[in-house]
Structure 1
Amino acid sequence: MLKKIFIVTLMFAFSLSSVFAQETTTTETTTESEGNKAREELSQNFVDALASQDERLLISAIESGSPQVKALCFKALSEKGASSENLLEAINRYVSYGLNAPSSQNSDSMVRYQALQAAKAAKSETSVEYISQMLYSEQETSNIIAAAQALGEIGSPKGVAALLFQLRLAKTQAIVYETAVALGKIGDQAALSDLIDLAQNDQYFIVVRQAAVDAIKNIKPSSGDNNSGSSSTTTTDDTAAAQ
């Protein structure tokens, strides 16, 4: 009997200690979560305050701040716009921020993503070269999509080569879709052959192939085709007149 009471007492004591340990862990987790949230709010408030002041302060925060602060600065620029050359230079330099770092560096990836959003909002052709170079090395799907969208919004033919690289790489159907949309917005003849192949490729979802079809509609006809048509018409008219 005493042995049974002793065992029950031990079991009760063990259960009680487990409850206390669980409560302590929960409290610590909650405290840590609240602390992280407070730090995030502080960083956001800090960037908002800088954005309302001289742009030099924002650039200084981009250069010297943590990856979180850098990302928030570019997010602010994507919302308010970046019209000055100094801000555009900062955006262009950071679209490849931490690109060669290990993939676990999510904070670096977020900086690139927000810099791309700022470049898309700015729509400056000066960004095309930097975004294009970044597309040849980027591994993050969300960043590749953001880069394709930015190049599509800027609309420069200089971005076509990098977009075709991603289209042919075909890492995901989402990337292929966004790349096709971007190529359609640019409307350059250099993309026509690849878009025709994509539109006929039944390995892709219908929505992806439709994006290729829509892009083909936006491709500007080559001047050579137009001249050929005009020449043919002229020849026909001359022949008819001679008869």
Structure 2
Amino acid sequence: MTAAEQEASTESRVVLVTGGSRGIGRGIAERMVRAGHRVAATSRSGEAPAGVLGIECDVTDAGQVEAAFAQVEAAYGPVEVLVANAGINRDTLVMRMSDEDWDAVIAANLTGAFRVARQAARPMIRNRFGRIIFISSVVGLLGSAGQVNYAASKSGLVGMARSLARELGSRGVTANVVAPGFIKTAMTDELDDKLVAKYAEQIPLGRFGEVDDVAGVIEFLAGPSGSYVTGAVIPVDGGLGMGH
């Protein structure tokens, strides 16, 4: 490792995680704090883990997104690593899915990701450094009955990231997608044991993942070791979606 690489490996970056109050987003924020970064997290509640600057923000509101970035910049400086994790689901069969169900999920998961990426891009280009990481899902690659809206929104992140990778790469900005599978969170803790066992049978590793499995990949992509990775879709799913 060169002296410049050694310096870069210990450099503290300004990280913004959207949807960082719980679940995978919270785990990512905590992991990035442990790695020595200056971390802010948005959520509708404004809650955040210890050591993280909590900002109340609904990513479906362009004005709130702009204000959130201004708060981060005032506290830490321009966002250097963006983790677009905020998202919702409104699952139902397509024949029962209302326009509102569709619009709400697309607005939060896809348009919200676009808004925060757009807001982050200009200072990243100016500083010739940036890491944009979208949190997708294995569902976006495999599809899932009853999740037409959710799967479409998560699949759309792949096209977004790869377009940004081509658009911003010459300015030192990478754009990647991380696609988790079944990860242990408060949501999966509510699943029936028989259902968990059924899902686990479909996973080659035979178990659900941990939040830190996802967070570790984010730390890699944000750090110097991930500097030559862009336009990638990285599954963290125990092999569930392999081949996609």
Q: Answer whether TM exceeds 0.5 for this pair.
A: no
TM-score between the two structures when normalised by the length of structure 2: 0.29
Question: If you compute each CA radius of gyration, which structure gives the higher value, 1 or 2?
Answer: 1
Structure with more of its chain in strand, by fraction? 2
Q: Which has the higher contact order (CA 8 A, sep 6+)?
A: 2
Which of the pair is proportionally richer in helix? Answer: 1
